[in-house]
Structure 1
Amino acid sequence: MSTVITLSHGQLRERFAELAETPAILKAFDFARARMSPVLFNHVTRSWIFAAKIGARRAEPFDAEIVAVTTLLHDMGFTPHGEGPHRFEVNGANLARAFVRDLGFDDRRAQLVWDGIALHATHSISLFKETEVALSSRGIGVDFGTADYAILGPIEIAAVVSAVPRLDMKRAFAACALHLAETKPETTYDTFIRDFGERYVPGYAAPSWVDAIAAGPYTE
């Protein structure tokens, strides 16, 4: 099995007609590819393809450039280039917002990229945001088997995986989550990474809001 994505951006577009091409998308594609491990880069690439496919099925218009950049950069917080003091989604969102501002995105479009990345793993919020934010989260979720998997179906998804292999995705992604739970637990308590920490990391202990509220500075 190949250990890297072997298709160029142009070759991906030949296979998947739903994908858009703009200078910003090309730069985001190359930026992510140069800075992510093969497994993470393949994950974000599949996420983009899935989001584009779901979007093509919708009657509602959307900004394909926003969706592409958001999905391609959404896991930068897992890389050394996206390190910071916050939860990984926010660290990655901050990097991506600076990236698109350098490309000339206005404040609104840059904020949509930020929201899409910061909220991509919080479907209880992201799916009710702007179309681009929701669509990005939905595409990312398909790579983990969320409900939108059924919209595309196994044959269409198999074609994407054939073009962009998973490369032991489950194990590798869990390793990313465990690394943060072990090294920066304070950034994981209100994210899905908490589940990994509580199950696999000895001594991991997330604070409780029950205790925080009870100990608050009020008498009643």
Structure 2
Amino acid sequence: MVNEIAGIKTPDSQLAKDAADILREHGNDLLWNHSNRVYYFGAEFAQKENQKHEPELLYVSALFHDLGLTEKYMSDDLRFEVDGANAARQFLETYDLPENTVQLVWDAIALHTTPGVAEHKQAEVALLFHGVGLDVMGDRFEEFPAEKRNEILDAFPRNDFKQEIIPAFYEDFKHKPETTFGNMKEDVIKHFRPDYENNNFCQCILHSPWSE
């Protein structure tokens, strides 16, 4: 593991190393590079905004945030974000950490695709959200120092990330498209299946079992 990139230290505790080993074992280069970029992007935002946070927890959150896309941790009926959060919970509980610490990481992962909520929670949750947003959609791109951005990309290259990440999402939840109801990942289903129709919130209200 690299000790420091772009002036940001890499957590080197046994917990951090074990988390990295899990992603290496069950993920692929796409998820490895993306997840690491997310950590360094989030950590840089923390430095820039002087946000107090626990780097080890941000690191684990970043490494596990897309683990629900892997065959090992993919469920039949849960959102992939929840699959990753559950994997992190199972992992962290083996270290006898306080429940509020475990819950913080769970929330960060489960909410990383939930704009309007994640950025208003604890620092680790918000920083993961912003790191993901920058790497996936280029959110706050101009705010990020170009020199540091390039150093992070040298260590963890994108390698056609734009073209590869959408199919990677689809492969995870094409068998459970209903889990994308009410969240941005429904756009991924429609990208490959334009005629797919999920539940409609208004129809759910109008056809509820209430008598009036």
Q: TM-score, normalised by structure 2?
A: 0.92
The number of residue pairs the alignment matches comes to 210
Measured in 2, the distance between the counterparts of 1:180 and 1:14 equals 32
Measured in 1, the distance between the counterparts of 2:109 and 2:43 equals 16
Structure 2: 5+ residue stretches without partners:
none
Measured in 2, the distance between the counterparts of 1:66 and 1:190 equals 28
Determine if contact 1:181/1:194 at 8 Å carries over to the other structure.
no
Among 70, 79, 86, which residue is 1:94 paired with?
86
1:107 counterpart = 2:99 = yes
Q: Determine the structure 2 residue equivalent to 1:31.
A: 22
Among 109, 121, 139, which residue is 2:113 paired with?
121
Measured in 2, the distance between the counterparts of 1:199 and 1:73 equals 25
Q: Percent identical across equivalent pairs? A: 29
Measured in 2, the distance between the counterparts of 1:80 and 1:97 equals 18
Equivalent position amino acid for 2:203 in 1 = D
Q: CA deviation at 1:76?
A: 0.5
Q: CA deviation at 1:99?
A: 0.4
Measured in 1, the distance between the counterparts of 2:172 and 2:64 equals 18
Structure 1: 5+ residue stretches without partners:
1-8
More displaced stretch, 143-152 vs 58-67? 143-152
Q: Determine the structure 1 residue equivalent to 2:57.
A: 66
Q: Determine the structure 1 residue equivalent to 2:8.
A: 18
Determine if contact 1:178/1:201 at 8 Å carries over to the other structure.
no
Among 45, 52, 59, which residue is 1:54 paired with?
45
Q: TM-score, normalised by structure 1?
A: 0.89
More displaced stretch, 17-26 vs 122-131? 17-26
Q: How does 1:1-220 map to 2 (within 5 A)?
A: 9=1, 11=2, 13-19=3-9, 20-84=11-75, 85-220=77-212
Measured in 2, the distance between the counterparts of 1:147 and 1:200 equals 24
Measured in 1, the distance between the counterparts of 2:5 and 2:148 equals 11
Measured in 2, the distance between the counterparts of 1:130 and 1:213 equals 32
Q: CA deviation at 1:179?
A: 2.1
Determine if contact 2:82/2:110 at 8 Å carries over to the other structure.
yes
Equivalent position amino acid for 1:47 in 2 = V
More displaced stretch, 154-163 vs 133-142? 154-163
Measured in 1, the distance between the counterparts of 2:8 and 2:51 equals 15
Equivalent position amino acid for 1:14 in 2 = E
Determine if contact 1:181/1:193 at 8 Å carries over to the other structure.
no
Measured in 2, the distance between the counterparts of 1:51 and 1:173 equals 19
Q: CA deviation at 1:196?
A: 1.8
Q: CA deviation at 1:167?
A: 1.9
